Structure 1
């Protein structure tokens, strides 16, 4: 079925972006935004199922990933660059508005797309990563370091070239296998010198060896620097988004997360999501779905359930 997906290269915002595209050209568009260490391929189950239900499903490799261009500068990976890419892609699709589904870093970018350009989004399904308000007193990296220490993955990602060297020593397949096999709510730490020494021997049931090899082949070709640059730009994003402090997201939203997801179990996150803060910042938040026993890669781990939630929500609009 994956072979039936069309692949295109689109010129957007000064870069060439690879896009997977399936479904009727006149169907309502769903734009799927992957996170780390994903690719368009992250959405294979959603692309096939929802295109069969009449949607045009569009999943790019975000800048820096897969078969899309990877500008060398860290400063080219801000939320503004990524949202600019997406607005240009929506224009290329000839749409006024699209539905959006985002996961992980792709969900974060989706939140900012909704904040910057609510006029282009019909509704959002956010997976794993909730909206979280900008803290004007604490830069993101310093905040993560204070909470989780120097070996926390986002902190380890900050030094250009350092973690790439370690990833190269382990090999892309081992790195990806370790990340995708992780099924723990605890913070992800990459301890210096032994980052993936305890990598699992077996893949999770929801990922085949063929799937892993596809992911690995793209990271072997492209490297990890582009994807990691999004994390290296977080403090710059914090500076640039100061004008949006206390801004609300004004599009209809469904949020889905696994109760074993490390993002859901970060300090203060459950209180924010369930205690009224999330709804205050996202007034049109319609539903929060917590899937029991599910970890971070929710759309790959439980595709049928996630597909139904996406379909049921978007059918309202």
Structure 2
């Protein structure tokens, strides 16, 4: 079994980034989501290396051993995609397949949209690509879902930062293993006077895919860096909309794949399923949408064997 090694590299985007890597061959970049780290790809790094690829999972801007600047505006999607694109030459590659989960999926989709010449293929887990809307995202979210929607709760610096940092063990146990407690219409709405963690019930036991050692890793990664920089990704929703006006009607051109859990709240609601019907218009070279049964949001950790199988088949077709 290939081993995972760690080092720090200077991204051409100007950020010194911690990476976990395994294997040799064509480059595959694995982008984690919120609130995670490279560790969420632990099962894919070795599997892709064994299949003949150089699998690299960076700790992204603002997280853990990479860290980043304090200014909120340094976490726009142009910075995040720039970090990813800057890793390619730093790792001796002109091209890569970019794979992302959760927020990492958003970065992967944008990287493919902005630089199709550098992306051989793009895979999103849990989060599909969303076309740029006609008004700022926070305005649209507030109109559709109300002020209590969790992404709007994240906009104000301070409350969410303090809440999530207060007890890291509780934070990760609830977010990764807790059953969701949803508001009206099945929406993740922060209760009045409450916080984000109130959306999850404290689990009695951990699921079979998550161990105490796994939780200890996440708590260690956030013990020094905290949550403010990762939350700054959310605080750039409107700035991202402003910065990407030139790509308003652009399409994602590289070969694409979406992998989603059938029980993932991000895509299991009726509105999301309806939107996926038009996904081929925005990503005209969409290879497939792979639905994983009995799977929630933490896709590649919950179903590593299935995800690895789908990824290696996609890579074999598009990245040799």
- Quote the Cα distance in structure 2 between the aligned partners of 1:259 and 1:144: 24
Mapped partners of 1:314, 1:110: distance in 2? 15
* CA–CA distance in structure 1, aligned partners of residues 152 and 197 of structure 2: 16
In 2, the alpha carbon distance for the partners of 1:148 and 1:19 equals 37
Deviations for 1:225-245, whole angstroms, at most 9, x for unmatched residues? 111000000110011111111
Question: Could you tell me how far 1:291 is from its partner in structure 2?
Answer: 1.4
* Residues 41, 63 of structure 1: alpha-carbon distance in 2 compared, 3 angstrom cutoff: same
Partner of 1:164: 161
TM-score of the two chains, using structure 2 as the length reference: 0.92
2:246 to 243, 247, 254: 243
Query: RMSD of the alignment, in Å?
Result: 1.7
DSSP 3-state at the match of 2:30: strand
**Structure 2 matches for 1:1-317, cutoff 5 A?**
4-12=3-11, 13-24=13-24, 27-136=25-134, 138-169=135-166, 171-183=167-179, 186-191=186-191, 192-193=193-194, 195-196=196-197, 198-266=201-269, 268-274=271-277, 277-317=278-318
Q: Given that residues 253 and 287 in structure 1 are in contact (C-alpha distance below 8 angstroms), is that contact kept between their aligned partners in structure 2?
A: yes
Pick which of 244-253 and 12-21 moved more: 12-21
Please tell me whether the aligned partners of residues 183 and 296 of structure 1 are also in contact (alpha carbons under 8 angstroms). Answer: no
Q: C-alpha distance in 1, partners of 2:48/2:31? A: 15
Instruction: Say which SS state the counterpart of residue 118 (structure 1) adopts.
Output: coil
CA contact (8 A) 1:141 1:155 kept: yes
Structure 1 unaligned runs (5+)?
Answer: none
Total equivalences in the alignment: 310
Distance across 1 between alignment mates of 2:179 and 2:305 = 19
Q: Distance in 2 between matches of 1:92 and 1:168?
A: 33
Q: TM-score by structure 1 length?
A: 0.93
